[in-house]
Amino acid sequence: MKWNFWLSFVFPNLNWIIPSVTSFIFTVVTIVLICFQSKWQRNEKKVNSDLMDHQLKLQQAQICIDLAEKRLKIYNAFEEVFRNIANGNGADVSILKSFRSNTAGIGYFFGEDIQKFHEELDKKIFDYRLICTKVDRVLDGTSIDNKHSENVEKQLRMAEEFDDEKATLAEKFKPYFDFSRYQVN
């Protein structure tokens, strides 16, 4: 008897029962998917945020690497000029030209202390080149100079000054190669 009731109720009403049940199932599935979607979106936002932070750190690291590379090129130019002077190539004009071209733009990469040191060294190299040229001309016999002994003493004194400056070179440049607290704003 119970079955008859259900059958007598269900069959005539199938036209609205099936769509209602189907709609209900789809509604439940949709609600569940929306909940999961919001969770996935929150996770995706966190992943994207972490990715952007990582990209920022990589960009800052690349800027530091590029800056260090340019600073190292200039530092190597200083070392090269000291090495050439120590090897006795002080009268060679190409040393001064090479030093000037390799240290072009020093103001963009270093502070006032290194810029001042560069200007002083550039002037000293120029003066040293002139003294070396005078001494070499007298030694070659192409010139006579009454101040030859004074020029030789001055040349030796300047060579000693270059050696002293070369000894402190790494210490002067050290702060400019420390990127531990460097951040791009």
Interval 2-39: pLDDT, tens: 667 767 777 777 788 888 889 999 999 988 888 888 77
Q: Supply the pLDDT for residue 1.
A: 55
Cβ–Cβ under 8 Å, residues 179 and 64: yes
Position 61 in a domain: yes
DSSP character string of 141-178: TS---TTHHHHHHHHHHHHHHHHHHHHTHHHHHGGGG-
pLDDT of residue 69: 92
pTM over 0.85: no
Q: 23 lies in which domain range?
A: 1-40
Instruction: Judge if 69 and 125 occupy the same domain.
Output: yes
- Does position 155 have pLDDT exceeding 70, yes or no? yes
Task: Say yes or no: 100 and 151 in one domain.
Answer: yes
Long-range contacts of 51-56 (CB under 8 A, 24+ apart): none
Q: Mean pLDDT over all residues of the chain?
A: 85
Residue with the two structure tokens 């979106």: 41
pLDDT, tens only, 90-147:
667 888 888 889 999 899 999 999 999 999 999 998 888 888 888 888 877 777 777 7
Q: Identify whether residues 74 and 130 lie together within a single domain.
A: yes
Sorted by sequence, the CB contacts under 8 Å of residue 93 that are 6+ apart come out as 129
Residue 50 lies in a domain: no
**What is the reported pLDDT for 134?**
84
